[in-house]
Amino acid sequence: MQLALPRSYFATFLNLFRSQDADKRKKLKNAVAHIIGENPSNLRLYQLALRHSSASRETVIVGFRESNERLEYLGDAVLGMVIAEFLFKKYPYKDEGFLTEIRSRIVNREMLNGISRKIGLDRLIEYDGARTKSLPARTSMYGDALEALVGAIYLDKGFRFTRRFILKNLLSHYDIDSLVQNNANFKSRLIEWAQREGKEVRFDIIAEKGNSHYREFIAQIVINEEPFATGSGYSKKKAEQSAAEKALELLDAK
- Binding-site residues for Mg(2+) sit at 72, 144, 147
Q: Which residues are annotated as a binding site?
A: 72, 144, 147
Please pick, among 101, 147, 156, 240, the residue that the annotation labels catalytic: 147
- Active-site residue flag, 156: no
Q: Is 224 in the site for its own copies (CB under 8 A)?
A: no
Q: Is 77 in the site for its own copies (CB under 8 A)?
A: yes
Please pick, among 76, 101, 156, 245, the residue that the annotation labels catalytic: 76
Q: What is the 3-state secondary structure of the chain? A: CCCCCCCCHHHHHHHHHHHHHHHHHHHHHHHHHHHHCCCCCCHHHHHHHCECHHHCEECCCCCCEECCHHHHHHHHHHHHHHHHHHHHHHCCCCCHHHHHHHHHHHCCHHHHHHHHHHCCCHHHCECCHHHHCCCHHHHHHHHHHHHHHHHHHHHHHCHHHHHHHHHHHHHHHCCHHHHHHCCCCHHHHHHHHHHHHCCCEEEEEEEEEECCCCEEEEEEEEECCEEEEEEEECCHHHHHHHHHHHHHHHHHHC
Q: Is 171 in the site for its own copies (CB under 8 A)?
A: no
- Active-site residue flag, 122: no
Nearest CB to its own copies, comparing residues 21 and 85: 85
Binding string, residues 138-157; x marks residues near its own copies by CB under 8 A: -------------x--x---
Q: Is 221 in the site for its own copies (CB under 8 A)?
A: no
Task: Show which residues are catalytic.
Answer: 76, 147
Which residue ranges make up the site for its own copies (CB under 8 A)? 53-54, 56, 59, 61, 64, 67, 69-70, 72-74, 76-78, 80-81, 84-85, 88, 93, 95-96, 99-100, 131-132, 135-137, 151, 154, 159-160, 206-207, 209-214, 218, 220, 226-230, 249-250, 253-254
